[in-house]
A and B are shown apart, each in its own frame.
Chain A
Amino acid sequence: MRLRLVPQETNFDFFRFRKVTFGGSVIAVIASIVLWLVMGLNFGIDFLGGTTIRTESRVEVNVGAYRDALQPLNLGDVSITEVFDPTFADDQNVAMVRIQAQDGAESVTPEVIALVEDVLRTVDPEITFPSVESVGPKVSGELVTTALIALAAAMAAMLFYIWLRFEWQFAVGAVAALVHDVVLTIGIFSLLQIRFDLATIAALLTVLGYSINDTVVLFDRLRENLIKYKKTPLMEVMNRSTNETLSRTLMTSGTTIVALLALIILGGDVIRGFVFAILWGVIVGTYSSVYVAKNVVLMLGVNRDPKKPDSGAGTQFGNIDA
């Protein structure tokens, strides 16, 4: 007996609730942007500059005592959070101390780090510092720029590639889905105030890769079916294509999610934020391929008569190996 995520023949009407699904996506995107503007993002030192110190001790972490000890140093914004993780041993108590970039310091201030370490040692003589990371404001500013360039470059590359291989309507639909995925991921990071750093940008780019992968598989089938069923209305062909690829879509998302779940539970706290971004993106990306990309293409319409000239100038490469 084989495991079947979906019955052999499905005939769901993916457009029946398109007002709800597409409208829901639009609302979710707007809500994410509002969240982002109102609550902001919990930027890590990669983007803000500053220092994070990871502490580890056999003694219980006493956040209050740490804070009281650091108070007299006048370091500005200091945040101390205890870290819990199922992979930790029983007597492994971990905390993260984050110190803002010190005023006027263009580079990293080792004296501050040494001072903080000394003070914390007086609170808990057994404390160790498994990792200390410090980024100066100069570099963090550049990292922000690079991150934005990377995201923009990835989107532009996708737009161009899909346009080359399919038609421009598909490219717009695919990129709309990508923007949806990225914005929703930023939204959840803002809502849950998860730390947003360089690794998150890498995760966002990975999500782009995954989401485009999904969208392309769908489009590929749509292209095939558009040739096969020339007279059928576009919406029906889209529905058929989605139904035909549904089994694969769920299968691939399923295996990827299984793998990511293992990593998020057992992979340790250091990369949890990174993996969470990818996991969330995979779920959102799967949804957006079905409900966002196609809806956009439907709205734009597709030129199905190749004899009639159309702005879809990309078609000359469209049949490279079809």
Chain B
Amino acid sequence: MLDIPLWKKVLILGICAAGLLMALPNANYSNVERYNDAVSAMEGGITSPELEADAGLWPSILPSNLMNLGLDLRGGAHLLAEVQVEDVYGSRMDGYWPAVRDALREERATVGTIRRQPGPDSELRVRISQPEGMEAAVAAVRALAQPITTFTGVGSSDIDVSANGDVLTVQLSEAERAATDDRTMQQSLEIIRRRVDEAGTREPTIQRQGADRILIQVPGIGSAQELKSLIGTTAKLTFHPVVGQTSDANARLDGRQILVPDMDDAGTYYILEQTPVVTGDDLVDSQPAFDQNGLPAVTFRFNGAGARDFGIYTAENIGSPFAIVLDDEVVTAPVIQSAIPGGTGQITGNFDVTESTQLSILLRAGALPAEMTFLEERTIGPELGQDSIDAGRIAATIAMAGVVVFMIASYGLFGVFATVALLINVALIVGILSLIGGTLTLPGIAGIVLTVGMAVDANVLVFERIREELRTAKGPARAIQLGYERALSAIVDANLTTFIIAVILFVLGSGPVRGFSVTLGIGIITSVFTALFVTRVFVVMWFERRRPKKLEV
């Protein structure tokens, strides 16, 4: 009755062995990490003596999956950014203006003259001189609307047109806004990913969170500031005709002109035409370089359309200045010396080499469609992380030793079984975390230590139950069997409830807390497995060999 079929024994011990094997690479973390980097680099076709040496650090037949270390252990930067999705509405409305203007002009007979009115960015307001023609005007603009083809917006069109007196208002429809927001988020994610990749950092996490947020985690980067200047800059590059230069921050502007400050020279402002000649959207390449005086500069190259527009404009405006504007600041405003037909050029400003390198990365990756604000940032230095790992390792070892002494003193040989099961348990947790690519965080280490304390619980329940059954004068074999059987319901209930808590933590938690819930959850599963199966195999194997008449637990 105590028999465990051979296949079951093999299976149970096999799982333990597999767990140990999966956990093994973590014992040699830094070497395996270098090995993994080298292997993936060599798969990408790069070889060098150093990579060859690194690839020899770990036998390739062994598993090489590692647990990820959370930012709190490895050090790095964590940013939560909110994308100002509404920013895009303004430029969308500006984009509609020419079409609306043309449509209304065709109806000039009924609507009279038209003039664009100032209003919120997300609205396009047009005043018509003959209010009685409003119906025709609304119909003409409505005819411009495009049907939307998203799942949620079936049957609706992209713009809402309304009239109030002699003012016609055009704005994006609800469905179109949702679709636009979604597109803005996709673009932002893509551009951030490109920028972070260009900067060559390893294993960044870039995730969309909720409707308008992006979570960015980059291990190993020194400060959140560095990361923010890399991804937080919109990098919107535009080329505008210059109307004039002034030192008056409140200078009067004619319609559709803008006042832009100089990047380096505080107090200098340029009056520019609002509509740019070309924008950074037409850029195909950008590289850091040096100008003829040996100062850092950034070169750029336009695509076909951009090169044509730029060529025509420069040819027509030789001798007049134009401004290169980056994120609402004028970088430089040179005078056009000659037509630039090839679509290439150079931006010189007051850069140092780092700035010119960074600017070229930003221009190459493209501009963010909307501005971002940062809601949360955390930077943890690698030394602090290493300190935490060391402290956690020592604490875990001592905790383990304490529990082992306690168990063996209380249960003797059975305590030894439980101890071996406990070691296997920890190895299984580490092994599973490596296998699923889980992340170990500082609270996660605490979770493992807590599991070490609690994992023996299932064993304790069984052992105590065996003791009780022995007292009612049953034979040892019967007592062991009953002990396992009768403790089962308590073990299942007790662990299921804790597992539910782990699930809630996982669903609602974020960052380190989520890491903790993962280790806690895995720890519950492995501890039930080791208590119910692994120690049982040990007990049964020992019992079969010895056949003791009397059992002392």
Q: How far is the CA of A158 from the CA of B471 in the complex (A)?
A: 34
A271→B442 contact, CB < 8 A: yes
Which of the candidate stretches A10-18, A107-115, A187-195, A293-301 sits at the interface with the other chain?
A107-115
The residues of A that contact B399 with a CB separation of less than 8 Å are 258-260, 262-263
The residues of B that contact A255 with a CB separation of less than 8 Å are 402-403, 406-407, 453-454, 456-457, 460
B384→A131 contact, CB < 8 A: yes
| Partner among B223, B409, B450, B496 whose Cβ is within 8 Å of the Cβ of A256 | B450
B497 contacts partner chain A, Cβ-Cβ < 8 Å? yes
Q: Which of A186-215 contact B (CB under 8 A)?
A: 198-199, 201-202, 205-206, 208-210, 212-214
Q: How far is the CA of A107 from the CA of B377 in the complex (A)?
A: 10
**Cβ contacts A257-275/B at 8 Å (1 or 0 each):** 1111111011110110011
Decide: A216 near B493, CB < 8 A? Known: A54-B384, A210-B454, A258-B453: yes
Decide: A271 near B443, CB < 8 A? Known: A158-B497, A259-B399: yes
Q: How big is the B interface, by class? A: 35 or more
B452 contacts partner chain A, Cβ-Cβ < 8 Å? yes
Q: How far is the CA of A266 from the CA of B456 in the complex (A)?
A: 22
The residues of A that contact B96 with a CB separation of less than 8 Å are none
A251 contacts partner chain B, Cβ-Cβ < 8 Å? yes
A120 contacts partner chain B, Cβ-Cβ < 8 Å? no
| Partner among A3, A132, A252, A267 whose Cβ is within 8 Å of the Cβ of B446 | A267
A132→B456 contact, CB < 8 A: no
Q: How far is the CA of A63 from the CA of B494 in the complex (A)?
A: 48
Q: Is the interface of B mostly helix, strand, loop or mixed?
A: helix
The residues of A that contact B395 with a CB separation of less than 8 Å are 262-263, 265-267
Which of the candidate stretches B148-156, B303-311, B505-513 sits at the interface with the other chain?
B505-513
Q: Distance in Å from the Cβ of A253 to the closest Cβ of chain B?
A: 9
Closest B-chain residue to A322, C-beta based? Answer: B489
Q: How far is the CA of A321 from the CA of B488 in the complex (A)?
A: 8
Q: How far is the CA of A247 from the CA of B379 in the complex (A)?
A: 46
Closest A-chain residue to B499, C-beta based? Answer: A209
Q: Distance in Å from the Cβ of A284 to the closest Cβ of chain B?
A: 16
B461 contacts partner chain A, Cβ-Cβ < 8 Å? yes
Q: Distance in Å from the Cβ of B244 to the closest Cβ of chain A?
A: 32
The residues of B that contact A3 with a CB separation of less than 8 Å are 406, 409-410
Decide: A154 near B501, CB < 8 A? Known: A258-B406, A271-B443: yes
Which of the candidate stretches A36-44, A74-82, A134-142 sits at the interface with the other chain?
A134-142
Q: How far is the CA of A103 from the CA of B496 in the complex (A)?
A: 46
The residues of A that contact B509 with a CB separation of less than 8 Å are 150, 198, 202
Q: Distance in Å from the Cβ of A17 to the closest Cβ of chain B?
A: 25
The residues of B that contact A201 with a CB separation of less than 8 Å are 513
B446→A274 contact, CB < 8 A: yes
The residues of A that contact B488 with a CB separation of less than 8 Å are 321
A131→B380 contact, CB < 8 A: yes
The residues of A that contact B388 with a CB separation of less than 8 Å are 268, 270-271
Which of the candidate stretches B316-324, B343-351, B368-376 sits at the interface with the other chain?
B368-376
A149 contacts partner chain B, Cβ-Cβ < 8 Å? yes
Closest A-chain residue to B406, C-beta based? Answer: A255
| Partner among B450, B460, B489 whose Cβ is within 8 Å of the Cβ of A259 | B450
Closest A-chain residue to B79, C-beta based? Answer: A108
Closest A-chain residue to B82, C-beta based? Answer: A107
B443→A199 contact, CB < 8 A: yes
Q: How far is the CA of A198 from the CA of B447 in the complex (A)?
A: 15
B410→A251 contact, CB < 8 A: yes
A280 contacts partner chain B, Cβ-Cβ < 8 Å? no
Q: Distance in Å from the Cβ of B263 to the closest Cβ of chain A?
A: 18
A321→B489 contact, CB < 8 A: yes
Q: Which of B385-425 contact A (CB under 8 A)?
A: 387-388, 391-392, 394-396, 398-400, 402-403, 406-407, 409-412
The residues of A that contact B400 with a CB separation of less than 8 Å are 259
Q: Distance in Å from the Cβ of B373 to the closest Cβ of chain A?
A: 4
Q: How far is the CA of A321 from the CA of B388 in the complex (A)?
A: 43
B225 contacts partner chain A, Cβ-Cβ < 8 Å? yes
The residues of B that contact A256 with a CB separation of less than 8 Å are 450, 453-454, 457
| Partner among A146, A206, A244, A275 whose Cβ is within 8 Å of the Cβ of B468 | A244
B126 contacts partner chain A, Cβ-Cβ < 8 Å? no
Q: How far is the CA of A106 from the CA of B221 in the complex (A)?
A: 25
A121 contacts partner chain B, Cβ-Cβ < 8 Å? no
The residues of B that contact A212 with a CB separation of less than 8 Å are 494, 497-498, 501
Closest B-chain residue to A138, C-beta based? Answer: B375
B92 contacts partner chain A, Cβ-Cβ < 8 Å? no
B442→A213 contact, CB < 8 A: no
Nearest first, the 8 closest Cβ-Cβ pairs linking A and B are: A259-B453, A256-B453, A268-B391, A259-B399, A130-B381, A3-B409, A262-B399, A209-B501
Q: A130-B381, A209-B501 are in contact. List 4 more A-B contacts (CB 8 A).
A: A2-B552, A251-B456, A266-B391, A321-B489
Residues of A at the B interface (CB closer than 8 Å) are: 2-5, 8, 54, 87, 106-108, 110, 113-114, 128-136, 138-139, 146, 149-150, 153-154, 157-158, 161-162, 165, 198-199, 201-202, 205-206, 208-210, 212-214, 216-217, 220-221, 224, 244-245, 247-248, 251-252, 254-263, 265-268, 270-271, 274-275, 278, 321-322
